[in-house]
Chains A and B, each alone.
Chain A
Amino acid sequence: MKSEMTMAEADIWHPAQQQQLFRSLLDAYSYPGRIQTCPAEPSLALLSALLDGQTTLSDPQDLLPESIWPKLEAQRVPYELAAFILLDGSRAPQMVPNLGTLEAPEHGATLLLRVASLHEESAGALCLQLSGPGIRQSVTISVDGLHADWIKARNDWVSNFPLGVELVLCDAQCFVALPRTTKIVLGGSA
């Protein structure tokens, strides 16, 4: 188990692997609700593919091992200033992240939430009905290990478009992106 982890982690720092990670992330953003599989632990793999010294990261719950920080190169900043935030999705949201401004909505944060598992359709505990850009016909996904308050808070944060945040939900193998344009209805029809 331990050696598998290190192998997977060694891969995600390679530029060719990061390009492929980015392309699956691009698909996830283009078609929200499509669950993408990831060759390594998704939350760390995606951070490795996106971050460098120019970006800011917040890890308020200390989910990342200290040894990873130098590799990610990202600046460690408080929650409300961070461009990327890594959080445990099973705990309720505490604070409002950066939502961007009217002139610069791209400063709205990207939140990576670790959850227990992601399912297509309604096998999981929390059903999310999704519609909006990138979704031809509304789809339902479901999540285990996501606090329902996250969706309520997120819907509040994105209510003044173009301000808002992007959510990326990551379980142990897969991830799904929920850009600010995606309309999420809790407990959507199966």
Chain B
Amino acid sequence: MNAHYELPLEDAGYSFGFLDEYAKKEVRRCILKAISIPGYQTPYASREMPMGRGFGTGGLQLTLSLIGEDDTLKVIDQGSDDSVNAVNLRQFVQLTCPGVDVTEKTQEATLIQSRHRIPEKMLTEEQILVLQVPYPDALVVVEPSEARRKVMHGEADYSRLLVKLYEDVVRFDEITISHRYPTRINGHYVIDPSPIPRWDVPRLHQSPALVLLGAGREKKIYAVPPYTVAEPLVFDDIAFRVEDFRDANGQRIACRCCGSTVSFLDELIDDAGNITHQCSDSTYCEEQQETISARKRA
């Protein structure tokens, strides 16, 4: 977004949060139903937003329906507060919600809108995590008809999805899904938890914070309520495992900036062609570096 852009105010002006009150009320009613039926994709009338579908309009509509003047918002994209998508969305909220504070610090935020990551720092009951979802339905790979998928979801019939996972095991000796790992919520609905890496999936389980997922293009809202069972879909004899950050010698690779060996790492190739690793959560990485330099000073 152009930094000098201003909303046209010559007519009646825009209400707080850009969306009109009817749109917000509809999203709010859907959010409550989504919490009551954990993992169920509640349909809603996704509004046109002044940005393309697929740029986080679903997450943004959730955020704008939730936000109030006493909220503090953090927006992240792939773990970073400074990438284009995050900066755009944050500026849009600042433009349309006067009085709302923004932050990059995870612990200061009351609302966190995120694309493709859950912050490294454990969330609390005072926070709400909003995830942007491109493809909400985990069953779409095995059933093209939405009407039939709805019946399968209602009956909690995920046999064909399990067959798909089984085929992976037969062919590659391992389930090859890297992100959007199908996850069963409260023992019934299987969700697509948005393109978060496997690393983040266990953090949906018994999370103290409410997790809301919004798909703007697909017009669906679903939720993982706090303190709810969230189990990745697996077989009894093949356990779920997260990304392995060990090198050839079995050593855990450390972040090149902060040296953390417990965070999710991005693989980078520098100018010389060497592979290096760096924390994906930029705020976490900066805080680690500050702690280290403070310790050195002391």
Contact = CB atoms under 8 A, between A and B. Distances in A.
Interface of A: 15-16, 18-20, 22-23, 25-26, 29-31, 49-55, 101-106, 108, 110, 133-136, 161-162, 164, 166, 179-181
Given A30-B225, A162-B154, A25 B37 contact: no
A182 B40 CA distance: 16
A89 B13 CA distance: 43
Nearest to B126: A27
Interface of B: 15-16, 21-22, 24-26, 28-38, 40, 42-43, 66-69, 125, 128, 147, 150-151, 154-155, 186, 188-189, 206, 210, 225-229
A16 B16 contact: yes
A29 B225 CA distance: 9
Contacts of A15: 15-16, 21, 24
A161 to B, nearest CB: 6
Q: DSSP majority for the A interface?
A: loop
B154 A20 contact: no
A106 B40 contact: yes
B127 to A, nearest CB: 11
15 contacts: A15-B15, A15-B16, A18-B21, A18-B25, A22-B66, A23-B68, A50-B25, A103-B151, A104-B150, A105-B40, A110-B32, A133-B228, A162-B189, A180-B37, A181-B38
Contact of B36 (A19, A29, A102): A29
Contacts of A164: 36
Nearest to A32: B225
A85 to B, nearest CB: 14
A106 B37 contact: yes
B227 A50 contact: no
Contacts of B36: 29, 108, 164, 166, 179-181
Contacts of B125: 31
Nearest to A84: B29
A14 B293 CA distance: 49
| A19, A52, A105, A181 — most chain B CB neighbours (10 Å) | A19
